[in-house]
Structure 1
Amino acid sequence: MEYSSTAMGLKLFIIILFFSSAYSHSYSNSFKIAEEGYLNWIRRMNFRNHSLFVEAKNKFEPCRIIKVHKNPKYGDFTTMHKAINSIPVVNLCRVVISVSAGTYREKIEIPATMAYVTLEGAGADKTIIRWDDTAGCKGPNGQPLGTYGSATFAVNAPYFVAKNITFKNKAPSPAAGATGKQAVAVRISADTAAFINCMFVGAQDTLYDHKGRHYFKNCYIQGSVDFVFGDGLSLYEGCHLHAKANKYGALTAQKRESMLEETGFSFVNCKVTGSGALYLGRAWGTFSRVVFAYTFMDKIITPRGWYNWGDKKREMTVFYGQFNCSGPGTDHTGRVSWARELSQQEAEPFISLSFIDGHKWLTDLR
């Protein structure tokens, strides 16, 4: 019942916004309507059970532990592929894959029915999974893989966990204007995935935060253009985001396309460093939503901060904000007028586990 009234309210808001455009209301009036819609969302998000996502019921007690080691004497398998293939296609209990130190040159995909898989490395600096596909590479059918298919590691099943491991796409950083060079290190296309003490290393489109609720804790993410992108509902806590841009780059490209979508990226107690001139985000989606709170930003952040993807209409519908951030990159003097410094009330829904319903599926993990 709560969901129905909420959805109806949001639909009504969109209808109002449409007709206000059709009858050429002023920019300020349209912005006021958008602002009221956002404040209604704030009020609803402050309730504990706010999500439109399905109820999450995680399992943490392992029913099986698999060891992967380069030396067959010390493990059950010598490759990640063989370890994953040993798990039932329809998996109903927590399986832990313990991966020893070493570089595993493999392209891995967790199928949609293989839930409750945990991947544990010997340390992010010791256990590395790497590949080097780009969007322009040809797949088995002779067609380009595309960004989606370029991932070194892809997660399609719910309740996935990774700890202490590096995911890397070794494709070189593309030249400015190059096409087909997107090179994903990890793609997450499933709900309720968590990454603890992991590293994601690539250049263009490093981390495809595709869809679902995701949690990143104490992770290192490196890239140049849109190196955190997608339409996930994700909390990044205590993460280090490092740009390796030759000239201009962008940290995020969030793809929220509708007021009905409860998606967005929140970065809390993070650090942004690197080279080049970096946008905090580009409006890939019409209703793109990204927030940085308690985050240190180095001087690499461009004064404008955000980019509208070449579409001025998105300036009325995106939600980009900062709250209690520090460092030379936080200066609002040259910021775009459609980004904001958040109040405590506005920031509240973004800065805790409730943003991703974490109290339902992360309690035992943390």
Structure 2
Amino acid sequence: MINREKAAVRLTVSKDRDGEFKTVQEAVDALPEYSLEKKEILIKKGIYKEVVRIPATKPFVKLIGENKNDTVITYDNYAGKEKEGGGRYGTSGSASVFIYADDFEAENLTFENSFDRTKVDTTGTQAVAVYAKGNRMIFKHSRFIGRQDTLFVNDGAQYFDQCYIEGDVDFIFGGARAVFENCRIHSADRGSATNNGYVTAASTQITKPFGFFITNCRLTSDAADGTVYLGRPWHPGGDPDAIASVLYHNCSLGAHIQPEGWTDMSGFSAADARLYEYRNTGPGAVFHEARRQISDQEAENWTIENVLDGWNPKIEQ
């Protein structure tokens, strides 16, 4: 469980030489392995252009930014980019920040992938800002900036509180159990009159009753009305058991949301996935037979604790 005692280790990162480290990765590398004590890394304002990896051997790490808008971890790798030594990064290898550790926390930070697809001739335009694969992860007052595939919640359980998430194509995706509460989810305008992207691409395993729980969030965009889908079902490698599970719950939906709500992906039908809504409002919350609404009784099962498999991040541990 999350250890909320006073941090046993507290390190400071600063670009202005008034911290112990100049890069975030240097501070992560200095942390002890296999410690169950809380470890904090304070990151002062600045743009930190680096790839950061927090391994599974370093749980209970908390990254704290000085200011969520001015403390930025960024890089510009992308799926089609060639790696030194051969091969390409691929989607999962393109992230600016990789988090494999359980009981991770982040607060007051911007995570960004700054790849500009207009300047590179490639079909591999996926560019991940954060790759998360761990249990009991908390992100608060943080920003996730990218375009295609911004936030890869691959596996485990994650909680996003009062965050800002921006992208255009499948920019919240993966097979994790993830709760997004009181967040702003912003679809970037691709300039199309018909299709400006998809918010989610969940790949929830059929054995998991819950996937993405998006509750009390605002969906915004500068894109044309009716041109952004709520999501589509992602089946990695054609896995037939990856049956997307998503619920938009008490959300405010902007006019950019496509009236049909959901769409198919790679030959897999949205109608066969678990894609639902409950009591959404706003100009994008229109009636359409393809947009399935759950009942009040069904909605009672969608609690933070149920979705996160018995873990409630809002309870002090």
Common fold: TM-score over 0.5 = yes
Q: Secondary structure at the match of 2:148?
A: coil
Task: Verify: 1:252 aligned to 2:200, yes or no.
Answer: yes
- Any unmatched runs of 5+ in structure 1? 1-56
2:245 corresponds to which residue? 289
Q: Secondary structure at the match of 1:191?
A: strand
Trace 1:142-291 onto structure 2 (pairs within 5 A). Answer: 142-173=86-117, 179-246=123-190, 247=192, 248=195, 249-258=197-206, 260-274=207-221, 275-276=223-224, 277-285=227-235, 286-291=242-247
Conserved? CA contact 2:75–2:96, under 8 Å: yes
Greater C-alpha radius of gyration: 1
Trace 1:11-26 onto structure 2 (pairs within 5 A). Answer: none
Aligned sequence identity (%): 32
Deviation at 1:357, TM superposition (A): 4.1
Measure, in 1, the Cα distance between the counterparts of 2:35 and 2:97: 19
Deviations 1:159-191 (A, max 9, x none): 11000000000012469x962110000000111
- Any unmatched runs of 5+ in structure 2? 236-241
Could you tell me which amino acid in structure 2 is paired with residue 284 of structure 1? W
Of 332, 350, 356, which aligns to 2:302? 350
Conserved? CA contact 1:231–1:263, under 8 Å: no
Higher helix content, 1 or 2: 1
2:78 corresponds to which residue? 134
Aligned-pair Cα RMSD in Å: 1.9
Trace 1:109-128 onto structure 2 (pairs within 5 A). Answer: 109-128=53-72
Number of residues of Structure 1 aligned to a counterpart in Structure 2:
302
Q: Secondary structure at the match of 1:125?
A: coil
1:108 corresponds to which residue? 52
Could you tell me which amino acid in structure 1 is paired with residue 244 of structure 2? S
Conserved? CA contact 1:210–1:231, under 8 Å: yes
Measure, in 1, the Cα distance between the counterparts of 2:268 and 2:26: 50
Measure, in 2, the Cα distance between the counterparts of 1:137 and 1:178: 8
Deviations 1:36-56 (A, max 9, x none): xxxxxxxxxxxxxxxxxxxxx
Conserved? CA contact 2:186–2:219, under 8 Å: yes
Could you tell me which amino acid in structure 2 is paired with residue 342 of structure 1? I
Deviations 1:95-143 (A, max 9, x none): 0001011111111011111111000001211100110000111224321
Q: Secondary structure at the match of 2:301?
A: helix
2:10 corresponds to which residue? 65
4+ runs deviating over 6 angstroms: none
1:7 corresponds to which residue? none
